[in-house]
């Protein structure tokens, strides 16, 4: 049979009237089908298959304009021939590789599909609208898919609500902590100033007290040194005189052997051992240095033995000197204690000022996590992320801890924490980690990966990342 078309500007679709002639059983039949006007009222969405509702206006009028401004007749829309370079004239066919097909997917989420997937024998839209002419019968799965999506949406809504409620608590806690830290910083600044003033006073008092102490100690020590030298001279003279049997003011090997047994290794070769100590006859001065220290103790049993003075023989300080020492010790202790207080106050103030300068998020939300760490354990390692501090990796079965990075700040509007300048990899860069934060009921490190060598990524779930939930009631999400 043959047909021809009649066009009328009063219709909203491209095919207005089809007039055909068909022979049936030898009888010619004239067929006239009206497809516009009051007989059938097609909408743009129904007639132009695959068009997104937001683009309906482009497909109205007497002609169609491609993305580059080229204009074509409406009859060329979805004619299975690609007229526009951007593929916009074939949303409902696979003629254009870059066209887009709109799946309405009622009861679920609409989607845009590559037009090349239309009528390819695979059901890509849950409502099956992409396979309208392929012969494949697609089951409409939008309701079930929508149910799963709605259930997931409800789960996320509940998560968001509970998480946001905790977030409000964290905001209040963080705001209060920052207020307290600012107040503490003011107090600490005054305390550090006072501690510094006190340290200066006590340091001067220590210096004054140590002057007479040092002088008194010197007198005592020099007196003791003189006594030690005097006693040593007596002991050396006594032993030299004892050994110098011929009184020639020299001590020989033979004279020594007459009084001392040197066969310490019991090999019977006494002279050889003495030779090692006395190579020639010794005068008093040489005897004092070379021989006396090694043999003096062998004469302890002699009835006229003259002992030397040892450190334990040193007498205690006299009362006046001891009083000076005690006063100086007290001054030193007072200064040391004050210096420790000042150092601790300075350390606290430095840490506090560092925290006050940090970006702790909107409404001070992350201030609640100062000094807090979260951990994650995989098959090999324990990972520890400490807010505003550092990230470490530690073998589960023991071993050296590796620093993966130090805190450097936020990225992407508080969605990612950056830790950089960790330990250097072998023949590689310094380690680093990006930590993504997402909404969660508890503060939890969920996973850690290494997508690139020595560049780690992780995810922390925390109430601090939960956005304010929609005010719509949960009944708005109920299934139809």
Condensed to tens digits (0 to 9), the pLDDT of residues 110-153 reads 999 999 999 999 999 999 999 999 999 999 999 888 888 888 88
The full 3-state SS of 239-268, as one line of letters, equals HHHHHCCCCCCCECHHHHHCCCCCCCCCCC
Condensed to tens digits (0 to 9), the pLDDT of residues 288-343 reads 998 899 889 888 888 999 999 999 999 999 999 999 999 999 999 999 999 999 99
Condensed to tens digits (0 to 9), the pLDDT of residues 12-55 reads 333 334 333 343 333 343 444 333 333 333 344 445 789 999 98
| pLDDT for res 148 | 81
The full 3-state SS of 422-450, as one line of letters, equals CCECCCCCECEEEEEEEECCCCEEEEEEE
Q: Hey, what are 33's tokens?
A: 């089908």
Percent of the chain with pLDDT strictly greater than 90:
69
- 407 bridge partner residues: 419
With 0.85 as the threshold, say if the pTM is over it: no
Q: What is the rounded radius of gyration, in angstroms, for the C-alpha atoms of the chain?
A: 50
Q: What are the two backbone dihedrals, phi and then psi, of residue 462, each rounded to the nearest 5 degrees?
A: -155, 145
């Amino acid at each position: 049979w043959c047909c021809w078309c009649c066009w009328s500007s009063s219709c909203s679709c491209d095919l207005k009237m089809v007039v055909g002639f068909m022979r049936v059983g030898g009888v010619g039949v004239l067929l006239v089908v009206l497809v516009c006007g009051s007989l059938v009222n097609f909408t743009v969405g129904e007639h132009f298959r695959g068009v997104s509702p937001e683009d309906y206006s482009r497909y109205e009028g007497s002609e169609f304009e491609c993305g580059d401004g080229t204009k074509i007749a409406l009859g060329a829309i979805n004619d299975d021939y690609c007229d526009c370079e951007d593929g916009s004239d074939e949303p409902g066919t696979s003629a254009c590789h870059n066209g887009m097909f709109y799946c309405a997917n009622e009861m679920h989420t609409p989607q845009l599909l590559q037009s090349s997937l239309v009528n390819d024998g695979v059901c890509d839209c849950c409502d099956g609208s992409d396979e309208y002419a392929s012969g494949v019968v697609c089951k409409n799965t939008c309701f079930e898919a929508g149910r799963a999506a709605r259930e997931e949406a409800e789960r996320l809504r509940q998560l968001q609500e509970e998480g946001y409620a905790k977030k409000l608590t964290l905001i209040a806690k963080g705001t209060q902590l920052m207020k307290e830290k600012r107040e503490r910083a003011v107090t600490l600044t005054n305390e550090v100033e006072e501690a510094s003033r006190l340290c200066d006073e006590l340091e001067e008092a220590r210096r004054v007290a140590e002057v007479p102490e040092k002088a008194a100690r010197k007198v005592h020590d020099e007196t003791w040194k003189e006594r030690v030298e005097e006693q040593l001279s007596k002991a050396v003279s006594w032993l030299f005189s004892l050994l110098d049997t011929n009184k020639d003011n020299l001590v020989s090997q033979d004279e020594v052997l007459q009084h001392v047994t040197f066969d310490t290794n019991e090999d019977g070769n006494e002279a050889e051992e003495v030779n090692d100590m006395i190579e020639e006859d010794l005068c008093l001065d040489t005897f004092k240095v070379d021989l006396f220290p090694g043999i003096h103790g062998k004469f302890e049993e002699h009835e006229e033995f003259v002992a030397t003075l040892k450190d334990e023989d040193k007498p205690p300080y006299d009362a006046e000197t001891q009083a000076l020492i005690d006063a100086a010790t007290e001054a030193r202790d007072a200064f040391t204690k004050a210096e420790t207080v000042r150092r601790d106050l300075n350390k606290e103030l430095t840490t506090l000022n560092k925290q006050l300068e940090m970006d702790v998020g909107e409404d001070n939300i992350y201030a609640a996590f100062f000094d807090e760490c979260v951990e994650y354990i995989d098959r090999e390692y324990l990972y520890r992320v400490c807010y505003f501090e550092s990230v470490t990796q530690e073998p589960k079965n023991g071993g050296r801890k590796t620093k993966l990075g130090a805190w450097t700040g936020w990225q992407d509007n508080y969605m990612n924490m950056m830790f950089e300048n960790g330990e250097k990899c072998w023949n590689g860069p310094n380690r680093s980690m990006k930590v993504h934060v997402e909404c969660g009921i508890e503060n939890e490190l969920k996973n850690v990966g290494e997508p690139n060598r020595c560049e780690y990524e992780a995810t922390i779930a925390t109430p601090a990342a939960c956005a304010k939930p929609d005010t719509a009631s949960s009944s708005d999400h109920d299934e139809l």
